[in-house]
Amino acid sequence: MKSAKQETVPIATSSDVVMARQKVRQWAIEMKFTLVDQTKLVTAASELARNALEHGKGGHMVIEQVENSVKNGLKLVFEDRGPGISDVDAALRDGFTTGGGMGLGLGGSKRLVNDFQIESEPGKGTRVTVVRWK
């Protein structure tokens, strides 16, 4: 996977979550994603940025345009230095929540993108990488 350009967005406040959403929408529009794909990406970005803020005590999002031999896509990496996730499989199940929400965050985000990878180590933080291909 080759990267064309990238940008880092800090996630330390609720307004940073809004900024992350706006950046993802802007990039998706520039790359001519369909409205449906834009909405899926922005929704996933919103959930993952909010998780980084609320559960990970803040972090950052790296957004980058990527391409492989066949297509172009948008890759988002959310990283925090929070407490980590002790049971990633449980966290991906619908209905699982530690924050009193609906429990659709991680599993829902995974369904909105084409590629989804999560790495988490208790005490060290979490990194979620997603790609939506055009």
Full set of structural domains in the chain with CATH: 2-133 (3.30.565.10)
Q: Say which amino acid occupies 16.
A: D
Q: What is the mean pLDDT of the chain?
A: 90
CA end-to-end span of the chain, whole Å? Answer: 14
Percentage above 70 pLDDT, the chain: 89
Cα–Cα distance between 73 and 60 in angstroms, integer? 20
Please report the pLDDT score of residue 92 as a whole number.
Answer: 81
Per-residue pLDDT of 15-52, as tens digits, reads 999 999 999 999 999 999 999 999 999 999 999 999 99
Does the pLDDT of residue 110 top 60, yes or no? yes
Q: Say which amino acid occupies 29.
A: I
**The dihedral sign for the CA sequence 54, 66, 64, 28:** negative
